[in-house]
Amino acid sequence: METMRLYNGIEIPAIGYGTWQSPDSEVTVNGVKTAVASGYRHIDAAAVYGNEVSVGKGIAGCGVPREELFITSKVWNTERGYDATLAAFEKTIKDLGCGYLDLYLIHWPASAHMYADWEQINLDTWRAMTELYKAGKIKAIGVSNFKPHHLEALMKTEVKPMVDQIEFHPGLLQEKTAAYCRENNILVEGWSPLGTGRMLDNEVLKDIALRSGKSVAQVCIRWCIQHDILPLPKSVTPSRIKENLQVFDFELNAADMEKIDLLNNFGGSGLDPDQVDF
């Protein structure tokens, strides 16, 4: 597995295994085990997915030592603030049974449309994350779904975010946020790299996949990587779990990259952090 590097020197495997909408059951235990057996070393979890116990069982039974895995989780919106974040972290590492986290993210920013003191709420959450990081309980800290105006206050703190995990797939380039992160040494991770499946029937992508001898899913994942965005494909289907890793043996040429870039404005989830009601 190739890796990308965070500004604090931590290496992060270049594709992560997504776990949103994976059930809290043997399906997910087996999904995680299949992923690790297929070569994934990076697992993207979150408390709100309601399946961290099953993800943890998969990790415990995967046969690869904990220190060879890169495990991410996220603090949910109801646990924002200093004390609640510290407690949420303890619950997550207990559920995952993993001792420490490689990466912990603020799942969504508190935003002005819901909170007058949104910036302070994010700073209080960040103070807890920073403390956990300095205590060595988390190897890297970051955010998710933050736009530049949400990031600005955090960029003035002692430890700046290392990652921003945002929706990123053909049809949704999030150029302003991606550029801001590039300029500030923040690695961007792409959630829903297949648009939760919405990319798969697109004719432009199908044509490129056919000519590349690859699947549409592999084209989407490869396109993220060539944009230096770390993709997090999710599947509980063994053949797809493996397929989604086989993207390091081909390259999209500049013309095809541009064709995909020009698909901008389709297939997005519509979840705007400045408008969501959660």
Binding residues for ligand NDP, rule: CB under 6 A, are 18-21, 44, 107, 144-145, 165, 191-197, 200, 215, 217, 232-237, 240, 243-244
Of 80 and 234, the one with the shorter C-beta distance to ligand NDP is: 234
CB of residue 153 to ligand NDP, shortest distance in Å: 20
Of 111 and 145, the one with the shorter C-beta distance to ligand NDP is: 145
Of 130 and 144, the one with the shorter C-beta distance to ligand NDP is: 144
CB of residue 195 to ligand NDP, shortest distance in Å: 6
CB of residue 24 to ligand NDP, shortest distance in Å: 14
Nearest residue relative to ligand NDP (C-beta): 18
CB of residue 241 to ligand NDP, shortest distance in Å: 8
Exactly one of 17, 40, 49, 180 is catalytic; name it. Answer: 49
Backbone φ, ψ for residue 20 (5° rounding): -65, 140
Q: Is 49 a catalytic residue?
A: yes
Whether residue 139 contacts residue 103, with contact meaning beta carbons closer than 8 Å, is answered with yes
Computed from CA positions of residues 102, 144, 28, 53, in that sequence, does the dihedral angle turn out positive or negative?
positive
Strand, helix or coil for residue 76: coil
| Distance between CA atoms of residues 171 and 194, nearest Å | 10
| Distance between CA atoms of residues 163 and 107, nearest Å | 12
Of 45 and 132, the one with the shorter C-beta distance to ligand NDP is: 45
CB of residue 49 to ligand NDP, shortest distance in Å: 7
Which residue shows structure tokens 């084209």?
A: 219
Pairing of strands 11-13, 3-5: antiparallel
- H or E element in which residue 124 lies: helix 118-134
Taking each helix axis from N to C end, the angle separating 203-212 and 216-226, rounded to the nearest 10 degrees, works out to: 90
| Distance between CA atoms of residues 159 and 130, nearest Å | 7
How many helices and strands in the chain, by DSSP H and E?
10, 10
Of 35 and 135, the one with the shorter C-beta distance to ligand NDP is: 35
Residues with catalytic annotation? 49
